[in-house]
Structure 1
Amino acid sequence: MTEDKQRRVAAACARQWGLITSAQIEMLGLNRQDTKRMREAGLLITLQRGLYRHHSVTETVPTVLSDARCAWLLTRPAMWGEDRLALPAPDAVLTATTALTLHGITPDAGVVVPEIAMNTQRSYRSTARILAPPDRLDWAQAQVIDGLPIARPIPALAAVIAAASADHRNPRSAELTSFVAAAVARICDDAADRPEGDAVIGQVAGVVGRRSTQVVDVAQMLATLCREAGVSEDILAQTVLVGRWNLAVPVDRTRQAVAAVLAAAFTAPSVSLPVVLADLFSVDPHQLGQVWRCAHRGCPDRATGSGYCSRHRVLEVRDRTTRPVADGDEIARSGFGIYGRLDDDGHTVLCHECGRRLRHINARHLAGHDMTAAEYRVAHGISPRVGLISGDSHRRRAQNSFDQGRPDLLRHLRPTAAQRRPPPD
């Protein structure tokens, strides 16, 4: 073993926190016998298979940072660290719990296996947990700290939730909800005094308000944050904790509600937080909260999972399906009409098979085309939730069905017992 080889290895280790892989040693012109001799001489200390530490680095107790360095190097053992940082897009980024711990968002919980996000799905010798990122890796979503690419707090939080959602064996747990609540509180608290605080809160709400976060109990998470802000249990029981609203409310409305609560808790006085909760989650029928209210303008009824009440849900789907074709839409013809669209002029609808305009495309008419209603919908892309009927006829039938369930109108439609009794002689 020549001194020149030892100097080359020492200089290479100094560029990578005193670490070097076996593939990098071969790139320096050393063979396996040279590596074996350096190990026997105590110049290289084996940490993992294919990874060594130079003897000049004082031995310390393994930490999250040291384990993360080793795992990141082993994901691409044949490339130098500075070359990987010069790539147009990162090939591997520390993310999820590991990144949040390195940022100081959550305490060091003794993470045994570092978590690394990679676009490729091939296996590596690294002992890290390889995660598929929610989005393509980008340097804008990462931060280089001490030569190590680490995901920023919000993308790291998204990776935690995405990993839990991808693991079907991991049901929604109180531990994960508590972890996400602590991370959200720290991120929002750090951004409260910054000019971009509102944007950060909106990004956090977008992460925890996704439908994939069914593994996280958003109601319990918000309740934890509200308790820390001084909201009483009585107010929480009447607002946030009423029902499993995070599973029944549409995604966009969930994000708006989470953003409103976070903004009131971290940027506004705590006195206004109960008022915000009442406006959002109140179940009082006279003052129904925004989360539960039907999205149709002026409708006071309670919404379902679609954001509309049962009556306006059908009307909204029909309005979206019968909307005229815009300039930028791709027009795909289907028979005499446009695929996926019900041609409704308000009084009649167009039959895609024969081109006739009818008030109702019923089973009798479709029998002449040797089709059923289901086959007609599949052939021309019509939603099963949209009736093959004109708008006027549809509104008239819907109003009749609605009126039949109202007692004040039934009194005028059906005679009471007193009205049926014959008059006295």
Structure 2
Amino acid sequence: MRGQGFLPDVVTYNTLIGSLCSRGKLGLAMKVLDQLLKENCHPSIITCTILIEATILEGGIDQAMKLLDEMLAKGLRPDMYTYNAILRGLCKEGMVDKAFDFLISLPSKGSEPDVISYNIMLRALLNRKRWKDGEKLVAEMVSRGCGPNVVTYSTLINALCHDGNVEDAVDVLKDMMERGLTPDSYSYDPLITAFCREGRLDLAIKFLDYMVSNGSAPDIVNYNTILGALCKSGSANQALEIFEKLGGIGCPPNVSSYNTMISGLWISGDRMRALRLVSEMISKGIDPDGITYNSLISCLCRDGMMDESMGLLRDMEDSGFKPTVITYNTLILGFCKVHRMDEAINILTEMVEKECCPNETSYILLIQGLAYAGWVTIAVDLAKALVARSVVSRDSFRRLHKAFRMVNVHKGTTLSKIRK
């Protein structure tokens, strides 16, 4: 540009600064700002807001506040987008009281907090169970003529459901609708999740239908919550009926939907239908994820199909998914159940070799497997060694102690001897 006699203007600089910040290159963005100032090209509110947001993302709220002060010193008047970015940063770093003071100070800076400002503050307060402060904030909000919106009500509903006050959350939903606001999927999802968690599936499904009748289309998260709860309660066939209708109502299932149904159908005994869903998922271009592999490995291990589960483990690795401690523990348990202890030990060895650190559960599963397979001495010696190294807790050893006695393999090893 300079070679052709053109100098960059503030819009050009903002584009460059924004691009650098979006790629996590805040240091370079600050150097561009220095260049902008050297060329006597004055930064705009947009320039400073971009930099403030990027600074906050890197956890530098103090630096962001300094940038804000520099804006004010240069005569720039931040807008509410800028101030809300500061509010989010303060709340993100746990400075809720400081955020509240900042919110209250905004009128003195020539700006009235908007509904987004209040929603940011309300979410931060309720996440910390500061209900009284939340109520005061809403009262302050209304007194200033800033009416609550759908996000405000959804925040209240979510917090109430999270604290177990589901009936109060339903009352908030009703109040929201009486005020002419239309709830969205984020308003309903906490309620549906809470009903499912409490085992009130009929009511959860009723709310799903209620959403549709009130013009709020459920999203796949809502449906996946219902599918998961039905499968968990042993109603996989009922879940399948809902699952098969999803494509027709404009809400096609995603990988999470398939994972839920595959596991639910397999556990219910319908292996063939579960396997057909795996094929269907792949044919529709939905790639399996780590959860898919873990679910299928768990299903195979549950049914003692260990050779197939090992084949799936290798396929999982070939597909670029790294097995987790849950994957390996599932395999250890599976091999222990069929008394293939050499292979269970090999799995533990493989975990270590592949830098997946075994946890206490890994060792407890192996100890129990050794004991139930009749490898008494090895099980007891391993338990003693792991307790001595604090790899297995004494509480866990007590449970193992009972398990040894149940299978009549306890050979005089007591807690008093372990302590020596």
TM-score by length of 2: 0.29
Greater fraction of residues in strand: 1
Greater fraction of residues in helix: 2
TM-score by length of 1: 0.29
